Structure 1
Amino acid sequence: MRALLRRTGRNQRPLRTRGPGANYRSSAYLPLLPWQVRERQFRWTRLGRRGLDPDEVQTFLERVAGDLAAVHDALRESRLETARIKEALRRWQSEQAQRGQAARR
């Protein structure tokens, strides 16, 4: 299956990283998985130079960078949400403790 994906060129669409709607991803977009990055192979250029096709490598690197940016954004949002929830829980616990002390008096 992995070789088929590699041969057909699926999941190799460039990611928009600038401009309006840069963070939008259609339902057809599938983020890169670790095995796709590890096993990615590039075509050798036959245009007189030896080595990899620079455009293909750059497109892939932009996609990896976009996926990493999305992961870091999601992680940041998750950490902010966790901090908000913890603070709300602390406030609630303090209120409950104060109500319990007032009821005992």
Structure 2
Amino acid sequence: MLVITVDLVPGGYEPLRRTIAAMSIANISDLAQISDYRIEANETSNPLVGTPSRTVRCVIRGHARAQSVWALLAKASAEVVKATPPNSSDVG
């Protein structure tokens, strides 16, 4: 499983660091060369733009494991963006 955490460090000032998003990417295909992955992503609310916190669950199908980890992360991020329209939430 991959676990990705996104921290915000306002102005580069470490004492104000806070996690604003996290994602887990789990292989559900027994590590096959062409694999499917379960994605779970959480994002905190953003009062600057008025978006609520949310949790998104989705699946990537048919990813070639021989690619860079960044290719998988790009696909996972794209699926999360598509999964929930702006300004909506499946977890309040």
TM-score for the superposition, normalised by structure 1: 0.24
Greater Rg, structure 1 or structure 2? 1
> Which of the pair is proportionally richer in helix?
1
Q: TM-score, normalised by structure 2?
A: 0.27
